[in-house]
Structure 1
Amino acid sequence: MLEASLAGQLKSLLERLTLPIELVSSLDDGPKSTELAELLTEIAAMSDKVTYERRDDDARRPSFAVRRSGTDTEVRFAGIPLGHEFTSLALALLQVGGYPSKESPELLEQIRDLDGDFHFETYFSLSCQNCPDVVQALNLMSVLNPRISHVAIDGALFQDEVDGRQIMAVPTVFVNGELFGSGRMGLEEIIGKLDVGAADRAATAIAQKDPFDVLVVGGGPSGAAAAVYAARKGIRTGIAAERFGGQVLDTMAIENFISVPYTEGPQFGSALENHVRQYGVDIMNTQKAAKLVPAATENGLVEIELESGASLLARTVILSTGARWRSMNVPGEDQYRNKGVTYCPHCDGPLFKGKRVAVIGGGNSGVEAAIDLAGLVEHVTLIEFDSVLRADEVLQRKLRSLPNADILLSTLTTEVVGDGNKVTGLAYKDRTTDAAHTLDVEGVFVQIGLLPNTEWLTGSVELSDRGEIAIDDRGQTSVPGVFAAGDCTTVPYKQIVIAAGAGATAALSAFDRLIRTGVPAEDSAAATVG
């Protein structure tokens, strides 16, 4: 069932089990149940601490529980958690089997102290790179707190549930039968939504922090590189990030980061955070910046006000807030977001199997999305505003060769049409004739480029007409002591490797300012050059 390399990895991991576990399945006569039984049998044979039994005690089939023997501690999967969810399966086996989590002790204690009975259901797809973080977070919570339970459900195998609950994006999470959230969520964010006092406690703790020598705002590749380069100088470094990893977490495959032939966004984002933590950087997650206040003459400190109400002070600041997917800004787009309007074809494509969909955008990302979706959906229509596609020629040829794909050029999307619950169509205008049309679709995949996350900086630093932070070749902005790096800036070519280099440049420039302006840097004598 498992490839030899995966089987070897899993067998090695199972050597870390300290407590016996049971794999308990509920099956039917279908081929997927046969596959699941083979998988569970294979896993049980890898360790004498793992047993497998079919009990058919769950209405969802195929499904199974990973249960700590003799207890009620368990996590459940409905489906076969391979693909992106293989790591979720491995972690579930380890954590139910007594292997401790690497999350901070404070966070683990916060989970144990949650007051309430919470039954979570997460719908995922095996091609979704955002889903494992949510699945793994809720699995861990169900292991630590007996009042929390969780089942992770492969939407492709339980289409009736997906249709009945009108799920059109993954991950989608329900708690006690009610919608809890949709899209990527980290452990801290989930806990924060359950623990109503968590945000206030975090804001209080942040407000009490001493000023930083370098404060990085944003946790993507540029922010991570800036934090590492600053911390290596032996100075007090902090990083405030809405979500560590940034937009890279939504990237399916990374094949052009030099020395790393292939990785995927979530793994790359996790590696960034782990690297930053090795240098003792004060990481403040789930913190969104709201305002920048330039340094006052009397103290020379830049202030960053956060949406939580707390503020951070720093001698220098590096802005690395990245970018996000650009919206169409047409009627119906916001109303039907995650109800047919989506921005991740890899994540949500399987939910539209056998349906008609549209892709907006004729660049590489749009054409690649249309090609991928054509293998799943009944029909895909690519819509491009310009009179020509901008994607690479090889991609265009591939798309044009597909029998269930159409291309509409010189086309302006005017409205996302729906029935109040989900998308039913897309209204557009032919720019050559001004004729109005409506396309019958159930999904709209938006792939029209990026928008810098800089609205909060309007009026405080110089921005380009595209909203990008204007910087010089040292990463300096128009405000003394404030630097910037990455996709939020005017630097050309929005690439991970370029963002990382720009982050290093900004950090070195910030350090140079500190030592030249006579502002003391903690332990600067112990700085490591390079």
Structure 2
Amino acid sequence: MLDTNLKKQLDTYLQNIVNPIELTVSTNNTAKSKELEELATEISALSSKIELIIDNNPVGRAPQMSIAPKGSASRVAFAGIPMGHEFTSLVLALLQAGGHPSKAEPALIEQAEQLTGDYNFEVYISLSCQNCPEVVQALNLMAIKNPNIRTTMIDGALFQDEVNERNIMAVPSVYLNGELFGQGRMSLAEILNKVDSGASERQAAALAEKDPYDVLVVGGGPAGAASAIYAARKGIRTGVVAERFGGQVMDTMAIENFISVKETEGPKLVANLEQHVLDYDVDLVNTQRAKRLTKGDMIEVELESGAVLKSKSVILATGARWREMNVPGEKEYRGKGVAYCPHCDGPLFKGKKVAVIGGGNSGIEAAIDLAGIVEHVTVLEFGNTLRADEVLVRKAKSMKNITIIKEAMTTEVIGDGQRVIGLNYTDRATGDKHLVDVAGIFVQIGLIPNTEWLKDTLELSDRGEIVIDTKGQTSMPGVFAAGDVTTVPYKQIIIAMGAGATAALGAFDHLIRTSVPAEAGSEAA
């Protein structure tokens, strides 16, 4: 199961186990059970503090691996083989169950420890999903810290009967005590706030007490991170408020055009960005969404929690989100066959027919990736030519289970009340209407800026982008903007970072000039 290099790395990590733990493998004599038993055997052989127990007559799911401090009931389990993106989740669970401290914020750990009630979480994942580990790891930590909490990671591709019974068509899907709790990426703070009824009020009260900033960055993507670093390096009071740090990059799988880094993944890049930001004296406020921007003696950012943050200058880096088709049925079947992340949700459609909407790079890349999992992929492109790079187009056309249809306008998502069963499109050249039978629809038609909350406040382009000048200045003095939310062309990570640096330097220049009293300027003249 584990190659030599991975064993060496794991051996190093497992040296951090303080207290003995028990690793229990529930098997059912299937090939996957043998695979999980082999993995557990290799892991236990690396540490004298890990005791392996094999249960050949389990009650419940199998194959499954449970982890617990020695002599304690297990509260953390992995139903399936926790490899791929979930291998890190497994390693962290081993270390934390063995007494190694978590790097999570102490306040969040304390919040988890103080939860009362009974919580049984089940999180359905796919091993190719880069968004799933954060949810799995958050729930694992909560279960390790609180005896009232239990959690199980479930590989949806392996436990298809459960996926079909619960009509799960998007990951991560989290169930709490048998009821759907949430879908999509969720941080530890977000999960805790959702189960802790008084958390929002406490956080809003704490935020209201914060002193004004010199620079407040709204948004935690590449542009926001670069802005914060450049501002903090000037020695001024800097804050970042974000709904989730990392933004859209967290949903990006392969990044191969970040200069000097040959290849990386979105979550890895975001982890490095966050660590770099926190190396400076930056006040990072997570899980908060901006609601309103106003200017008085200072610039105020009102949050949806009700708190108001004040600053001498503001940098808006709220980024963009996946553009929707805006056709009948899309919203009704979102998460029930309509998806936006082929890497995350693709494995749930194994052996089925799917459609990809969009013929740009993201659309053709999605089709190529999905073709290795599903029965057939139909690509629908609105224009009369594909916008993807030629190398991708050639690859897609060479695959026998990909069909590309151009001049196709998607008009409706069809479902049976529970899940997607097809879509309607119109041939723009002939006007003919067609029905395509599919179980999944992956929408890849570009991005839309997150500026709805800024309408009638700042000058926006006809596409809803914030209009900025060469220094990142917006139409409101003291308010700057950077990244995909602005009129800067070419929405790329590296361009957003450069724009963030520009906006921070522009804001610093603004602070210098506006901090000089008018009288002093007149006397000097």
- TMscore range, shorter length: over 0.9
TM-score normalized by structure 2? 0.97
Partner of 2:369: 372
Letter in 2 for 1:330: V
Q: Say whether the 8 Å CA contact 1:212–1:313 is kept in structure 2.
A: yes
1:79 correspondence with 2:80: yes
1:414 deviates by 0.6
1:497 correspondence with 2:482: no
1:430 correspondence with 2:431: no
Partner of 2:164: 163
Residues of 2 paired with 1:58 and 1:66: CA distance?
16
Residues of 1 paired with 2:68 and 2:306: CA distance?
42
Deviations 1:146-195 (A, max 9, x none): 00000000111101111111000100000000000010000000000000
Residues of 2 paired with 1:253 and 1:356: CA distance?
24
Match runs of 1:148-297 below 5 Å = 148-294=149-295, 296=296
Letter in 2 for 1:42: E
Deviations 1:330-350 (A, max 9, x none): 011011001000000011000
Partner of 1:523: none
Deviations 1:25-64 (A, max 9, x none): 1112221111111110000000110111101434211111
Partner of 1:24: 24
Match runs of 1:257-406 below 5 Å = 257-294=258-295, 296=296, 299=297, 301-406=298-403
Gaps of 5+ in 2: 518-525
Partner of 1:52: 52
TM-score normalized by structure 1? 0.96
Residues of 1 paired with 2:280 and 2:463: CA distance?
35
Q: Secondary structure at the match of 1:87?
A: helix
Residues of 2 paired with 1:29 and 1:104: CA distance?
41
Residues of 2 paired with 1:157 and 1:351: CA distance?
10
Root mean square deviation, CA, Å? 1.1
Letter in 1 for 2:55: R
Q: Say whether the 8 Å CA contact 1:217–1:239 is kept in structure 2.
A: yes
1:127 correspondence with 2:121: no
Partner of 2:520: none
Partner of 2:405: 408
1:457 deviates by 0.7
Partner of 1:524: none
Residues of 2 paired with 1:74 and 1:68: CA distance?
10
Deviations 1:418-457 (A, max 9, x none): 0111101101111112111211111000000010111111
Deviations 1:460-493 (A, max 9, x none): 1111111111111111111100000001011111
Q: Say whether the 8 Å CA contact 1:73–1:143 is kept in structure 2.
A: no
Q: Secondary structure at the match of 1:415?
A: strand
Residues of 1 paired with 2:508 and 2:224: CA distance?
15
Gaps of 5+ in 1: 521-530
Residues of 2 paired with 1:457 and 1:284: CA distance?
20
Partner of 1:6: 6
Partner of 1:99: 100
Q: Say whether the 8 Å CA contact 2:356–2:363 is kept in structure 1.
A: yes
1:518 correspondence with 2:515: yes
1:4 deviates by 1.8
1:249 deviates by 0.2
1:72 deviates by 2.1
Percent of aligned positions that are identical: 65
Letter in 2 for 1:305: E
Letter in 2 for 1:227: A
Letter in 2 for 1:159: Q
Q: Say whether the 8 Å CA contact 1:73–1:146 is kept in structure 2.
A: no
Residues of 2 paired with 1:161 and 1:309: CA distance?
40
1:269 deviates by 1.1
Q: Secondary structure at the match of 2:378?
A: strand
1:261 deviates by 2.0
Residues of 2 paired with 1:387 and 1:13: CA distance?
53
Residues of 1 paired with 2:74 and 2:414: CA distance?
45
Partner of 1:528: none
Deviations 1:205-238 (A, max 9, x none): 1111111100000000110111111111111111
1:33 correspondence with 2:37: no
Q: Say whether the 8 Å CA contact 1:73–1:96 is kept in structure 2.
A: no
Q: Secondary structure at the match of 2:264?
A: coil
Letter in 2 for 1:467: G
Q: Say whether the 8 Å CA contact 1:68–1:74 is kept in structure 2.
A: no
1:73 deviates by 4.8
1:272 deviates by 1.2
Letter in 1 for 2:188: L
Residues of 1 paired with 2:329 and 2:516: CA distance?
52
Q: Secondary structure at the match of 1:134?
A: helix
Q: Say whether the 8 Å CA contact 2:75–2:147 is kept in structure 1.
A: no
1:280 deviates by 2.1
Q: How many residues align?
A: 516
Residues of 2 paired with 1:263 and 1:399: CA distance?
23
1:460 correspondence with 2:457: yes
Q: Say whether the 8 Å CA contact 1:289–1:304 is kept in structure 2.
A: yes
Larger displacement relative to structure 2 (100-109 or 66-75):
66-75
1:313 deviates by 0.7
Q: Secondary structure at the match of 1:382?
A: strand
Deviations 1:272-313 (A, max 9, x none): 11111111211110111111112x2xx2x1111111111111
Letter in 2 for 1:133: E
1:519 deviates by 6.4
Q: Say whether the 8 Å CA contact 1:67–1:73 is kept in structure 2.
A: yes
Q: Say whether the 8 Å CA contact 1:63–1:78 is kept in structure 2.
A: yes
Q: Secondary structure at the match of 1:510?
A: helix
Q: Say whether the 8 Å CA contact 1:417–1:426 is kept in structure 2.
A: yes
Q: Say whether the 8 Å CA contact 2:379–2:404 is kept in structure 1.
A: yes
Residues of 2 paired with 1:391 and 1:73: CA distance?
49
Residues of 1 paired with 2:391 and 2:236: CA distance?
49
Larger displacement relative to structure 2 (257-266 or 312-321):
257-266
Residues of 1 paired with 2:92 and 2:439: CA distance?
35
Deviations 1:77-126 (A, max 9, x none): 00111111110011000000100111111111100111110000000111
Q: Say whether the 8 Å CA contact 1:74–1:96 is kept in structure 2.
A: no
Q: Secondary structure at the match of 1:367?
A: helix
